[in-house]
Amino acid sequence: MSNKRGYDYFEALHGLSKFSLQAAELLKKTISDFNVENLEEKIREMHNIEHSADIAKHDMIEHLVKEFLPPIEREDIISVAQQIDDVTDSVEDVLMCIDIFNVQKIRPEIPKFTDTIVDCCKSMYVGVEELRNFKKSKKLHSEVVEVNRLEEEGDALYINGVRNLYKNTTDAVELMVWTEIYRKLEKCCDACEDVANEIESIVMKNS
């Protein structure tokens, strides 16, 4: 499946997944050491990651348009690239949501959620890296399975977090704010699973 000449689509996809991982790590760092005064700076950092990812994706698509014989189907390359981009966007959305709602303090269970998102992006990153040599890879299947497991972990964190929120909070604004933030956090894990499922589909089609 490697493309030995010209543009390297597998390397490009791997680069996109690296942006997702960088975004997740920045989110984790921002949450674990949360300071409202530093939030604007962190949002700029996050936007720079997201913007760089967009540029890289557009560059890849420009090459793909001119490509005579891509290593896998064009539709598959575009699909997995867009889904990886969705991961980066979803992570940025969490930070934007915290800013928009003027959150002053992070709930104590949220760092565990960001840990899970980072782990999810790490497994996705390895899975995308292994896509190039999927027939010989000893890691690809296990990383896809791990992303699926972590997505389920994210579901549990979402359900338990929202349940505890509604058990222990009566303030309507706080309920609205944190329900939305939890939804954004869960979406990050869902987006990683979409990438893993797409990779699995590509492997099946090319086996």
Q: What is the pLDDT of residues 86-125, one digit of tens each?
A: 999 999 999 999 999 999 999 999 999 999 999 999 999 9
Q: Where are the domains of the chain?
A: 9-205
Q: Residue 201: is its pLDDT beyond 70?
A: yes
Q: Which two tokens stand for residue 1?
A: 């499946």
**Strands annotated E in the chain:** none
List pLDDT tens digits, range 123-147: 999 999 999 988 888 899 999 999 9
In whole angstroms, what is the distance from residue 7 CA to residue 60 CA? 8
Is residue 163 exposed (0-12), middle (13-18) or buried (19+ Cβ within 10 Å)?
exposed
List pLDDT tens digits, range 17-62: 999 999 999 999 999 999 999 999 999 999 999 999 999 999 999 9
When pLDDT is cut at 50, 70 and 90, the band that residue 76 belongs to is very high
pTM assigned to the model: 0.94
What local confidence, expressed as pLDDT, does residue 1 receive?
45
Q: Residue 4: is its pLDDT beyond 60?
A: no
Among 1.10.1750.10, 1.20.58.220, 1.10.10.10, 1.20.1050.10, name the CATH number for the domain at 9-205.
1.20.58.220
When pLDDT is cut at 50, 70 and 90, the band that residue 187 belongs to is very high
What local confidence, expressed as pLDDT, does residue 5 receive?
58
